[in-house]
Amino acid sequence: MNAPISLRNVALSFGGHRVLDDLTLSVATGTITALLGGNGAGKSTTLSLLLGFARADGGEVRVCGIDPVIDPDAVRRRIAYLPENVALYEHLSAVENADYLLALAGTRPGRNAITGALAAAGLQERAWDQRLGGFSKGMRQKVAIAVALLREVPVLLLDEPTSGLDPRATADFNALLAAVRDRNTAVLMVTHDLLSAVDVADRIAFLEDGRITDDIAASGPERFDVRALHARFQSGAGAIAA
């Protein structure tokens, strides 16, 4: 069975600059892959390809077997996407934002499901019915996380999902993400946060100069050797947080 997320020998250039160079990456059903890399490594471009916002110069991009360029609507129906900077409605409450955005995606889970997701994402109950105008970045991120996770789709794409979250909220998010994986979702998480990746990912792939230079699977009770990962990535991606 083909992986829900699949990129094979993908190349892409912008203005004569090679952004992706023979990129091959796949994410299987019920697994989480963390994609790490420095600024300009091609992480955001990889997400754009999967969402159908960019067209590869060569190679193959598939989401659930579908080419995002040929049928972007079909692909987006199968994807929940959480960008780093989320556009939410200032005049609506957290619950109202979730209800409206989910309705646009074709689902109405109801208030109990929405508040349950907000609680799981770490948003305090007193904020559920407050307008977002006074929310911090971290609080907004929690609303967006709840919306993304309520989309029961086979693929979840995350762009710096723990940005703006404190350590406790990050731990809560990782626990929630593990539950999403357990319902057979394929998760690709673009991140600079090595420790968060180590905590939740099944695989950690490092992107450098547009190609995967390391692909490490979790194994044993410790899952990953954090010191070895940090030493391996430090020279190639000075922006990675550890």
Tell me the pLDDT tens digit for each residue of 52-68: 999 999 999 999 999 99
Q: What is the DSSP string of the chain?
A: ---SEEEEEEEEEETTEEEEEEEEEEE-TT-EEEEE--TTSSHHHHHHHHHTSS--SEEEEEETTB-TTT-HHHHHTTEEEE-SS----TTSBHHHHHHHHHHHTT----HHHHHHHHHHTT--GGGTTSBGGG--HHHHHHHHHHHHHHS--SEEEEESTTTT--HHHHHHHHHHHHHHHHTT-EEEEEESBHHHHHHH-SEEEEEETTEEEEEEE-BTTTBS-HHHHHHHHHTT-TT-B-
Task: Determine the CATH number of domain 1-78+154-242.
Answer: 3.40.50.300
Domain with CATH 3.40.50.300 in the chain: 1-78+154-242
pLDDT for the residue 233: 67
pTM (two decimals): 0.86
pLDDT, residue 238, reads 43
pLDDT tens string 115-149: 999 998 888 999 999 999 988 888 888 898 888 88
